Amino acid sequence: MISSVTIPPPACMLLPLEVPNRYLFGPGPSNVPPRVLAAGGRPIIGHLHHEMYEIMNDIKKGIQYAFQTNNHMTLAMSGSGHAAMECAVFNVVEPGESVLVSVNGVWGERVAEIAERMGAKVHTLVKAPGGYFTNEEIEKALAKHKPVLFFLTHGESSAGLAHPIDGIGDLCRKYDCLLLVDSVASLGAAPLLMDQQKIDILYTGSQKALNAPPGTAPISFNDRACHKMFNRKTKPVSYLFDMTHLSNYWGNDGKPARDYHHTGPVSGFLALRESLAILAEKGLENSWRHHKEVAEYLWKGLEDLGLKLFIKDKDLRLPSVTTITIPDGYEWKELLAYMIKHHQLEMTGGLGPSIGMVIRVGLMGYNCSTSNADKALAALSDALKHCPKRKA
Ligand code: PMP
């Protein structure tokens, strides 16, 4: 018989899957604890089975705790942090509306582009990576641009900055604007209180301090945000991220039945539930304290190696992701490649505007310990000894 198959099975597919065991000490994903990996390896059940709805209800409660919010409109996106970013912007902004984005690293750049793509009038407040915005600067821009949405990154992982939040929610209310905060890199690692700090929309990712596999992203909308997004004149540009559908899928819309919208990442949700359970058992305040203590230990160790920290003010440093100024004379890519090769340990360079400025070390959740800080310091010290210094 003449075969209709003309393309043979690829040789690589006939070999077993190989995945190296590495220390993931970059800005994420971080190593996933066995308990969370095991949860993700449990049997698949239907995404519309009542047991799955119970698990999704648990996830909602876990997110409400992690975010410190009573918001009913709380769920996890089927997608990474970018899915939550797009969901927030697509649902509350209509084409032609004014959006104000603070840009002090790559995340503001991304949100500005997302808002621009869906037809918003985008205004930016810009600082160099590592810079932050005073409440006076923010108020001036709110008064000038009259945005419907103001975006701020709490944990600016490309620069290693933890942005102050207090007072900004009040300003946004004064100017009738929604406050959208990105906590992908900071949730569970640095204090953040959604309701008390009057954040209207907050999102995070699964793969940072929560230590779940990448691919799900908790998000929450308060009543102000719900009022705006459920009274719009146009439909959001994305079907997949349309909150009228997602709120039904998550049982948030008060309707008796949840209809099929998309097939949620069942294993990802099981793992996310377990990671939220670990955070609930540990306690948020313990988790914040622990990240700060380990970060301070790491910062001291880095300074003892003669390295300079990129964010000078300790109070503005992100405890989960530390940025080191690239040491004089070294090629940052060589330092990183050396650590992967000889220590099986990942750190990363900068991202967007911080490329070529910093090396980033992340010790988050399960990875956050002084013994892991020692491993990171030993790898860096070794790399500094063995990588050539090229410039004067
Ligand atoms: N925001 C911040 C602050 C981040 O650190 C990241 C991930 N590095 C993202 C958003 C995007 O998340 P994801 O890669 O999961 O889409």
Per the structure, the complete domain to which residue 336 belongs is given by 23-29+284-386
Of 201, 215, 220, 192, which is closest to residue 62 (Cα–Cα)? 220
Of 160, 157, 188, which is closest to residue 28 (Cα–Cα)? 157
Residues 161, 190 within the same domain: yes
The CATH number of the domain holding residue 343 is 3.90.1150.10
Q: How far apart are CA 239 and CA 79, in angstroms?
A: 14
Interface pTM, i.e. ipTM: 0.99
Query: Which of these three, 280, 304, 334, is where a domain ends?
Result: 280
Q: Which atom of ligand 1 is closest in space to residue 154's alpha carbon?
A: 3
165 lines ligand 1 (CB under 6 A): no
Residue 392: pLDDT band with limits 50, 70, 90: low
DSSP state of 345: E
* Counted domains in the chain: 2
130 lines ligand 1 (CB under 6 A): no
Residues 353, 274 within the same domain: no
Distance 173 CA to ligand 1 centre (A): 27
Residues 43, 57 within the same domain: yes
SS3 113: helix
Q: pTM of this prediction?
A: 0.97
Residues 254, 294 within the same domain: no
pLDDT in tens, 229-287: 999 999 999 999 999 999 999 999 999 999 999 999 999 999 999 999 999 999 999 99
Query: Which of these three, 219, 252, 280, is where a domain ends?
Result: 280
172 lines ligand 1 (CB under 6 A): no
Residues 76, 165 within the same domain: yes
Distances (CA, A) of 88 to 83, 93, 381, 382: 9, 8, 42, 43
Residue nearest to atom 1 of ligand 1 (CA): 184
Query: Which of these three, 280, 309, 325, is where a domain ends?
Result: 280
pLDDT in tens, 138-178: 999 999 999 999 999 999 999 999 999 999 999 999 999 99
Residues 304, 375 within the same domain: yes
pLDDT in tens, 56-68: 999 999 999 999 9
Of 317, 333, 321, which is closest to residue 383 (Cα–Cα)? 333
108 lines ligand 1 (CB under 6 A): no
Distance 157 CA to ligand 1 centre (A): 8
352 lines ligand 1 (CB under 6 A): no
Q: Which atom of ligand 1 is closest in space to residue 82's alpha carbon?
A: 16
If you search the block for the tokens 């919208």, which residue do you land on?
A: 261
Could you tell me the two tokens for 149? 């949405």
Residues 243, 368 within the same domain: no
